[in-house]
Amino acid sequence: MEMDRLEMIEKLRERAQVTYDEAKEALDQANGDLLDALILLERQGKVPPPQGGGYYRSEGSTAKEQSSSEGSESGSKDEQSTKATNNFKETLEKFWSFASGLLKKGNTTSFEILKDKDHVASFPVTVLVLLLLFAPWVTLPLIIIGLFLGFHYQFVRNDN
C-alpha cells in the first residue's frame, strides 16, 4: 500500500512540477485522490490552468462572476466570428481570383502538335491539364509515342 502512495506522489509531483512535500500534502488533503489533489494544487496557484480556453474546475470564478463575464465574452465571440467570416471571405476571394486567372491563362494558351513543321492539332492548355488529370494512362503514352514518331509539341500564347 505504501508503494502505491509513493507512486501517486511521484506522478503528482511530475505532472504538477511541485516538491514532494507539496504533492504529499495535496494528496493527504484529497484523501488519496490524484485528480482532486491536482485540482487542489491548481486552486492554490501551484499548477497553471489548462491551455485552450476550456472550462476547468479551478477557474476560481463564482456563478455570479461567470454570468457577468458571459455578456462581455459573447461580444468578443461575435467579434471573433465576424473576423473569422471576413478572413474566410477574403481567402475565398483570393482563391477565386487566382483560379479564374489561371483558367483564363490556360484558355488563352494553346498546346500545339506539329509534324515536320506542319500544324496537326491545337487545343487549349486547360484541355491538356484535364486530360492529364482524368486520363493520364492514355494522354502520357500518346505524347511519348508521338515523340518517337517525329511529332513536336509547343505552347503558344494567343493574345488576340
Name the CATH architecture for the domain at 2-48. Answer: Orthogonal Bundle (1.10)
Cα separation of the two ends of the chain: 89
Any idea where the domains of the chain sit in the sequence? 2-48, 106-157
Residue 10 phi, psi dihedral angles, 5° rounding: -65, -45
User: CA-CA distance, 3 to 107, in Å (whole number)?
Assistant: 76
Q: What is the 3-state secondary structure (H, E, C) of 41-56?
A: HHHCCCCCCCCCCCCC
For residue range 17-49, list pLDDT tens digits in order: 888 888 899 989 988 888 888 888 888 888 776
At 16, the pLDDT band (50, 70, 90 cuts) reads confident
For residue range 103-158, list pLDDT tens digits in order: 999 999 999 999 988 999 999 999 999 999 999 999 999 999 999 999 999 999 98
Q: Which residue in the block uniquely carries the three cell numbers 494512362?
A: 137
Q: If residue 124 lies in a helix (H) or strand (E), which one and from where to where?
A: strand 118-124
User: CA-CA distance, 138 to 21, in Å (whole number)?
Assistant: 74
pTM for this entry = 0.44
